[in-house]
Amino acid sequence: MTEESRIACAIVGSGNIGTDLMYKLGRSPHLSVGLMVGIDESSDGLRLAGEAGIDTTHEGVEVLLERGDEFPIVFEATSAWVHRQNAPKYQAAGMKAIDLTPARLGPLVVPPVNLSDHLEATNVNLITCGGQATTPIVHAVAGVCDVPYAEIISTVASASAGPGTRQNIDEFTLTTSAALSEVGGADTGKAIMVLNPAEPPILMRNTVFCALGDGYDRDEVHDSILAMVDEVAQYVPGYRLRSDPVFDEDTFNTPGGDVKARVVALLEVEGAGDYLPTYAGNLDIMTASAVRVGEAIADVVREAK
């Protein structure tokens, strides 16, 4: 693909996520970052973007809106609150927004589950890092049996959770919970987030519990989970199971009803080490998903030209 056919995009937010995304988009044959927007002149992200030859501004999103017709695609890496302010402005300026905050304005997208359903949307939401890591597994199980209730626990290294995440932990749990049913296909869902300050920092860990409805087939559930892990690992190479899925038979009085069995998938995500070190798999899975979604939307934009 030639340089000219790459679709120009902007990143709003120069924190951990925005900066990691900048590195990944730098390798994309479909997208090129033309502008990085921050609010803090001294932020590490703006400095690194400048060094990479990308236009930067610390004067906020108005600068981007003035140049809206240059950027058909904008990645939002700020906070849910900020995205709620920005989203109508992007739409008015004709930009398609890929939202990496838990704002949930557009449809929730997880690449291996429903990407192709939402390519025409003006705003898509990437849920949360925990959502990207766990909804595919719930979807894999719900594809082969009833899942009356799904529950996930995402544990990330304290060092990898920026102020946006820390001050809005409820948004993480609520948005992720919604995705377990809306995207994953469980009847009900619950998400839990834990921060672990251990040094050296731990890899991102995700545990998925799925209540199994009567008539499930253990081999089918097992194989479906493994196939999905392979699919996610295609774009997040450090995504893997810690052990074979664990099946427990017992009576579990879940919010989705009583069941006689559950499956537990224990996952870890090792990051690519683009911006933060490899422990920050939570950044990696979010930004890798964003690139995947961005590239698919870039194809649509290119065809429409």
Partner 1 sequence: MAISTAPRFRLTDSTLRDGSHAVAHQFTEDQVRRVVRALDAANVPVIEVSHGDGIGGSSFNYGFIRTDEMRLIRAATEEATRAKIAVLMVPGIGTKEDLRKAADAGATVARIAIHCTEADIAQQHIALAEELGMESVGFLMMASMISPEHLAGQAQLLDSYGAGTVYVVDSAGAMTIDDARRRVSAVKSAVSCQVGIHAHNNLSLAVANSLAALEEGVDQIDGCATGLGAGAGNCPTEILIAACEKSGITTGVDPLLIMDAAEDTVRPIHPNHGIIDRDGLLLGYAGVYSSFLLHAKRAAERYGVDTKQIILELGERRVVGGQEDMIIDVAMELQRRAADAQVSQS
Encoding tokens for residue 177?
């919970």
Which residue, 168 or 278, is less far from partner 1 as judged by CB?
168
Span near partner 1 by CB under 8 A; candidates 66-74, 109-117, 194-202, 280-288: 194-202
- x/- track of binding to partner 1 for residues 265-294 (CB under 8 A): -x----------------------------
Span interacting with partner 1, options 42-50, 53-61, 69-77, 165-173, rule CB under 8 A:
165-173
Residues labelled as active-site residues: 129
Q: Which is nearer to partner 1, 62 or 170 (CB)?
A: 170
Selected from 32, 168, 188, 278, the binder of partner 1 by CB under 8 A is 168
Cβ-based nearer residue to partner 1, 67 or 218: 218
Among positions 40, 41, 117, 170, the unique one binding partner 1 when judged by CB under 8 A:
170
Binding piece for partner 1, criterion CB under 8 A, among 5-13, 63-71, 77-85, 201-209: 201-209
Q: Which lies closer to partner 1 via its Cβ, residue 6 or residue 190? A: 190
The least distance separating partner 1 from the CB of residue 89, rounded to whole angstroms, comes to 26
101 makes contact with partner 1 (CB under 8 A): no
Residues at the site binding partner 1, with contacts judged by CB under 8 A: 151, 153, 155, 158, 163, 166-170, 172-174, 190, 192-198, 205, 207, 209, 211, 242-243, 246, 248, 252-255, 262, 264, 266
